[in-house]
């Protein structure tokens, strides 16, 4: 199983992940993606969902119109692991 990252390692990983921040009050990282319209937002979610399923690592997320709020945490580990960092990087690549 993936291990929780130390606060130090988490900060370092966030340095290479534009737009991603620590979530206040829990061990998780988050990003708010804002697209041109709903079509772009849902297209992103569709591609990200397929990538997440392939990785067997799934996001917590909420969509309102063209905004997608994403929170990543490894539930099995109770915090942020390398799996969250990998999914965050994949989501950034998908969003372009
Ligand atoms: C059995 C299955 O591999 C696990 O439940 C996976 C599925 N997706 C997951 N996604 C996330 N974000 N955290 C997990 O701990 C997790 N566990």
In a domain, 3, yes or no: no
| Closest C-alpha to 44, from 65, 64, 68 | 68
Q: Is the CB of 76 under 6 A from ligand 1?
A: yes
Convert the pLDDT of each residue in 43-59 to its tens digit: 999 999 999 999 999 99
Domain that holds residue 42: 27-95
In a domain, 1, yes or no: no
Alpha carbon 77 to its chain centroid, in Å, reads 16
pLDDT of residue 1: 77
What is the domain count for the chain?
1
CA distance 84 to 9: 12
In a domain, 8, yes or no: no
Strand, helix or coil at 7?
A: helix
C-beta neighbour count of 80 within 10 angstroms: 27
Q: For residue 58, report the distance from its CA to the centre of ligand 1, in Å.
A: 6
Q: Is the CB of 58 under 6 A from ligand 1?
A: yes
75: left (phi over 0), alpha (psi -120 to 50) or beta: alpha
CATH of the domain at 46: 3.30.1360.20
In a domain, 21, yes or no: no
In which residue ranges of the chain is pLDDT below 50? none
């Amino acid at each position: 199983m993936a291990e929780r990252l130390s606060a130090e390692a988490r900060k370092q990983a966030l340095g290479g992940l534009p737009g991603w921040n620590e979530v206040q009050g829990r061990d998780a990282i988050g990003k708010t993606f804002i697209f041109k319209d709903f079509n772009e937002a849902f297209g992103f979610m569709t591609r990200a969902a397929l990538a997440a399923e392939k990785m067997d690592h799934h996001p917590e997320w909420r969509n309102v119109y063209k905004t997608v709020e994403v929170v990543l945490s490894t539930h099995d580990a109770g915090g942020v692991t390398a799996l969250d960092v990998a999914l965050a990087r994949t989501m950034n690549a998908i969003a372009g």
